[in-house]
C-alpha cells in the first residue's frame, strides 16, 4: 500500500509539471491579425474587406477575441452603400487593438468610420481614425473689395482648390478676424457665403460673397467650409459597456467624434482626441465633438481633447416629445420614433408647460406601448394637460423633409404644446482632466443630472463653455439636478463661461425680443466651486449668456457658488457683476474672489 502511494504521489508531481500555463490560467485570447486576412497597410490598397473579415471572424469566435491592427496606413473604401466603413453587429467582448502608428484612412466622408449596433463589452484602443480627403480648405485673404463684395485669397500649400471635388459644395467663408480670440469672426449673423469662385492664378482666387466683406478680413487667415459631410468617427446605438482608449480622430472638416443613441451601461472615452494631425498646420478639425442623446448610460470622458471644432464639443440630453392627446386622466399619447426618448415602465418623467416654459408636473410611468410612430403611456397619477398636438415642426418635416428646417424650429419653440421629457433616458456623466475648444459654439451642453465636471480646461471659445438646462428651440431636455462643476479653468471664453438656465433662443440671442425669458426654477442642486475664470468677455454679439458675466444662473432652485477665482477679464469686457443670479432662489455665494483691472 505504501509503495502504491509513493507511485501515485510521483505521478501527481509529474502531471503537475506537464500542466501548461494556459491550463492554469485559461486559454489565451483568440487573436485575429488583419494582415493575415489580406490587409496591406500601405495607404493605397483597399484594406476594408480584409479588416471587416477579421472583425467578423472575431465576432463569430465570441467573448475575448482580439482584432490586431499593426502599424500601417489602412485605406478603407466602401464599395457599397452602408452606414459604416467598419461594421460591428451583435459583437460581445471584442477588442480591436492598434499600435502607436495604426491609421485607418476612410474614403467616404458620408459614412461613419465605426458603426456599432447591438453590441456589448467592446474596446477600441490605440488607433488613429482619419478622413482620406480634406473636407475644408484654408488660406489667407490678400485683398478686400467692399464695393464689389469680393475677396482675393491665396490657398495654403497642400490644401485643395475652392472648385475641387470635396470643396466645391462648401460655401461659408470663415475668417479668423481677431487674433486675440483664436476663433473665427463672431457676430449676430452667419459667415458670408461664397456665390462665385474665379481662379486668377495657381493657388490665387477671387471669391464673390453674399454680402460685403468686413474690412478686417484683410491679411487674415480663413477656412472655406460647411457641414455637408455626415460620417461620424464612432456611431453607437442599442449597445452597452464600450471603452474607447488612446484613439485620435483627424476629421479634416468632417462630422464629429462620436454619436451615441439608445445605449446602456458605461461608455468610456480615455485619451480620446478630436483634433488636427500634429504638425499639419490645419486651422480646423471637425464639425463638432459628440452628440449623446436618449441613453441610459454613464458617460465617462477622461484625459481627452476636443479642439478646433465648429459646433459644440459634447451635447448630452434627451429629446422631449409632443403630447398628442390625453385619453383619460392618466393616459397620454405622445410622438414616437427613433429620434425621441425611450419610455419604459418605472421611468420618471416631466410634463412641460410649453407656454410658461416650466414643469407642469412630474410622474412615473406604469405602462408604455409604442408602435414606432406614437407611444401611449399611463402615469401613476392624474395629470391636467394644456394644449396638445403634433406642432409645426412635425408638419413641416412631413411636407418638406429636405427644406430649411430653422423657420419651423423657431415656430416649434413657441408652439405652446405640452411636452413629455424622460429623466431616466438621459444618463449621467463624469468629465475629467480634458480640454475643450469651439471655434463658434459651446463646449459642453449638459441636460444630464447627477453629473460631475472637474479639473478640465475650457479655452478660446466664442459662446459659453458649460451650458446647463433644457433648450426649447431644439426640444432638448430635461432640467438638471445634482450637478457639480469644480476645479476647472476657463480661459478666453466670450459668453457666460457657466450658464445654467431654461434656455430660449429668442430671449437669449435677441435681447429686447417680445418673447419673455422663462421665470420658473426647474433646475436644482447646482454646485460651482473652485473654478478659475480669466480673460473672459471679448465678444459682445452672438454669444450665449452675457458678455462679462462668467457665471450666469437663471431658473435655478438651490445652488452653491463658492471659492471661485474670477478675473482678470478681457480688456473689452464690460464692468458687470461677475456672478449674476436671475429668476432663482436659494443661491448661496461664499468665498469667491473677483480680480478687476485697475481703471
Distance between CA atoms of 9 and 13, rounded to whole angstroms?
6
> Do residues 336 and 374 make contact, with C-beta atoms less than 8 angstroms apart?
yes
Distance of CA 554 to the CA centre of its chain: 24
Scan for cell 410622438, then name that residue.
Answer: 335
Helix (H) or strand (E) holding 50: helix 48-61
Contact 523, 480 (CB under 8 A): yes
Q: Are 292 and 248 contained in the same domain?
A: yes
CA distance 438 to 288: 8
Alpha helices in 305-417 (DSSP H): 391-399, 406-413
Question: Which residue(s) pair with 240 in the sheet?
Answer: 120, 264
Compute the CA torsion angle 383, 388, 393, 398 (nearest 10 deg). Answer: 120
Q: What is the rounded CA–CA span in Å between residue 236 and residue 250?
A: 19
* Structure confidence at residue 398 (pLDDT): 79
Question: How many structural domains compose the chain?
Answer: 4
Strand 66-68 to strand 95-97: parallel, antiparallel, or no bridges (unpaired)? parallel
Residue 525 falls inside a structural domain: yes
pLDDT at 8 (0 to 100) = 43
> Does a structural domain hold residue 48?
no
| Secondary structure, 3-state, 196-238 | EEEEEECCEEEEEECCCCCHHHCCCEEEEECCCCCCCCEEEEC
User: Do 405 and 380 reside in the same domain of the chain?
Assistant: yes
**DSSP annotation string for 77-95:** --SS--SEEEEEES-BS-E
Residues 255 and 120 placed together within one structural domain of the fold: yes
CATH classification at residue 216: 2.40.10.170
Length of the chain: 599
558 domain-assigned: yes
d(CA 207, CA 194): 6
Regarding whether 482 and 401 lie in a shared domain, the answer is no
> Is the residue at 98 inside a domain?
yes
Determine, yes or no, domain membership for 161.
yes
Residue at which a domain ends, from 370, 390, 422: 422
pLDDT along the chain (599 residues), means of 10: 46 45 59 98 97 98 97 93 94 97 97 98 98 97 97 97 97 90 76 96 97 95 96 97 98 97 98 96 96 98 97 96 96 87 95 96 96 93 96 82 81 94 97 96 97 97 94 95 98 95 81 77 97 93 88 98 96 94 97 90
190 and 150 in a common domain: yes
Residues 450, 549: one domain?
A: yes
Boundaries of domain holding 324: 319-422
Are 580 and 481 contained in the same domain?
A: yes
Q: How far is CA 163 from the centre of its chain?
A: 30
Give the DSSP letter string of 353-364: ETTTTEEEEEEE
C-alpha cell at 597: 483691472
- Please report the pLDDT score of residue 207 as a whole number: 98
Task: Look up the CATH number of the domain holding residue 405.
Answer: 2.40.30
Q: Give the contacts of 254 (CB within 8 A, at least 6 positions apart).
A: 109, 131, 135, 229, 231, 286, 287
Handedness of CA 261, 314, 234, 303 (dihedral sign): negative
Q: Which helix (H) or strand (E) holds 105?
A: strand 102-106
Dihedral angle, C-alpha 334, 335, 339, 340, nearest 10 °: -10
Nearest to 524 by CA among 567, 587, 492, 480: 480
Last residue in a domain, options 309, 329, 351: 309
Extract the C-alpha cell encoding 19.
500542466
The CA dihedral of 518, 523, 529, 533, to the nearest 10 degrees, is -30
Alpha helices (runs of H) in 389-484, residue ranges in sequence order: 391-399, 406-413
Half-sphere exposure of 459 (CA within 13 A, CB side): 12
Residues 361, 212 within the same domain: no
- CA-CA distance, 155 to 283, in Å (whole number)? 13
DSSP 510: S
With respect to residue 268, please indicate whether it lies within any of the assigned structural domains: yes
The reply to whether 581 and 473 lie within a common domain is yes
Confidence (pLDDT) at 179: 78
- Contact between 377 and 331 (Cβ < 8 Å): yes
Residue written as grid cell 445634482:
482
Neighbour count for residue 42 (Cβ, 10 Å): 11
Instruction: Give a yes or no: residue 406 inside a domain.
Output: yes
What is the DSSP pairing of strand 172-175 with strand 221-225?
A: antiparallel
- Please give the backbone phi and psi of residue 504, each rounded to the nearest 5 degrees, phi first: -120, 135
The single-letter DSSP state of residue 296 is E
Picking from 309, 330, 350, the residue at the C-terminal end of a domain is 309
Amino acid at each position: 500500500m505504501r509503495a502504491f502511494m509513493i507511485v501515485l504521489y510521483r505521478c501527481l508531481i509529474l502531471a503537475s509539471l506537464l500542466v501548461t500555463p494556459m491550463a492554469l490560467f485559461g486559454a489565451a485570447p483568440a487573436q485575429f491579425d488583419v494582415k493575415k486576412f489580406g490587409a496591406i497597410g500601405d495607404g493605397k490598397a483597399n484594406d476594408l474587406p480584409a479588416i471587416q473579415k477579421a472583425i467578423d471572424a472575431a465576432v463569430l469566435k465570441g467573448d475575448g477575441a482580439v482584432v490586431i491592427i499593426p502599424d500601417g496606413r489602412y485605406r478603407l473604401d466602401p464599395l457599397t452603400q452602408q452606414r459604416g466603413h467598419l461594421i460591428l453587429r451583435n459583437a460581445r467582448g471584442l477588442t480591436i487593438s492598434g499600435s502607436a502608428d495604426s491609421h485607418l484612412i476612410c474614403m467616404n466622408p458620408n459614412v461613419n468610420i465605426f458603426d456599432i449596433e447591438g453590441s456589448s463589452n467592446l474596446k477600441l484602443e490605440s488607433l488613429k481614425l482619419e478622413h482620406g480627403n480634406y473636407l475644408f480648405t484654408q488660406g489667407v485673404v490678400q485683398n478686400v473689395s467692399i464695393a464689389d463684395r469680393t475677396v482675393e485669397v491665396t490657398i495654403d500649400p497642400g490644401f485643395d482648390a475652392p472648385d475641387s471635388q470635396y470643396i466645391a459644395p462648401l460655401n461659408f467663408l470663415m475668417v479668423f478676424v481677431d487674433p486675440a480670440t483664436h476663433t473665427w469672426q463672431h457676430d449676430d449673423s452667419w459667415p458670408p457665403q461664397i456665390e462665385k469662385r474665379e481662379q486668377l492664378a495657381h493657388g490665387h482666387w477671387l471669391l464673390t460673397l453674399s454680402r460685403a466683406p468686413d474690412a478686417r478680413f484683410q491679411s487674415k487667415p480663413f477656412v472655406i467650409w460647411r457641414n455637408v459631410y455626415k460620417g461620424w468617427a464612432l456611431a453607437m446605438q442599442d449597445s452597452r459597456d464600450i471603452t474607447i482608449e488612446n484613439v485620435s480622430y483627424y476629421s479634416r472638416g468632417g462630422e464629429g467624434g462620436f454619436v451615441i443613441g439608445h445605449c446602456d451601461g458605461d461608455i468610456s472615452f480615455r485619451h480620446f482626441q478630436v483634433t488636427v494631425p500634429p504638425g499639419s498646420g490645419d486651422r480646423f478639425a471637425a464639425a463638432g465633438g459628440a452628440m449623446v442623446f436618449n441613453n441610459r448610460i454613464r458617460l465617462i470622458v477622461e484625459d481627452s481633447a476636443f479642439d478646433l471644432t465648429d459646433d459644440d464639443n459634447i451635447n448630452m440630453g434627451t429629446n422631449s416629445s409632443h403630447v398628442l392627446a390625453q385619453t383619460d386622466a392618466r393616459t397620454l399619447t405622445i410622438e414616437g420614433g427613433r429620434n425621441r426618448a425611450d419610455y419604459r415602465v418605472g421611468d420618471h418623467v416631466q410634463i412641460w408647460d410649453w407656454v410658461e416654459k416650466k414643469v407642469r408636473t412630474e410622474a412615473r410611468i406604469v405602462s408604455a406601448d409604442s408602435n414606432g410612430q406614437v407611444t401611449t403611456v399611463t402615469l401613476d397619477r392624474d395629470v391636467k394637460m394644456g394644449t396638445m398636438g403634433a406642432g409645426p415642426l412635425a408638419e413641416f418635416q412631413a411636407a418638406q423633409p429636405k427644406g430649411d428646417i430653422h423657420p419651423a424650429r423657431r415656430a416649434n419653440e413657441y408652439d405652446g404644446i405640452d411636452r413629455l421629457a424622460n429623466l431616466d433616458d438621459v444618463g449621467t456623466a463624469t468629465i475629467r482632466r480634458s480640454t475643450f475648444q469651439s471655434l463658434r459654439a459651446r463646449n459642453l451642453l449638459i441636460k444630464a443630472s447627477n453629473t460631475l465636471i472637474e479639473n478640465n480646461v475650457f479655452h478660446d471659445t466664442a459662446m459659453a463653455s458649460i451650458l446647463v438646462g433644457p433648450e426649447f428651440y431644439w426640444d432638448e431636455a430635461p432640467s438638471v439636478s445634482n450637478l457639480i462643476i469644480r476645479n476647472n479653468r476657463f480661459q478666453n471664453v466670450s459668453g457666460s463661461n457657466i450658464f445654467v438656465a431654461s434656455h430660449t433662443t429668442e430671449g437669449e440671442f435677441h435681447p429686447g425680443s417680445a418673447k419673455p425669458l422663462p421665470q420658473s426654477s426647474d433646475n436644482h442642486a447646482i454646485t460651482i466651486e473652485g473654478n478659475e475664470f480669466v480673460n473672459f468677455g471679448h465678444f459682445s454679439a452672438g454669444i450665449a449668456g452675457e458678455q462679462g458675466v462668467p457665471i450666469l444662473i437663471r431658473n435655478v432652485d438651490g445652488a452653491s457658488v463658492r471659492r471661485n477665482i474670477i478675473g482678470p477679464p478681457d480688456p473689452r469686457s464690460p464692468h458687470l457683476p461677475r456672478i449674476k443670479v436671475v429668476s432663482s432662489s436659494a443661491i448661496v455665494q461664499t468665498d469667491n474672489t473677483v480680480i478687476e483691472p485697475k481703471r
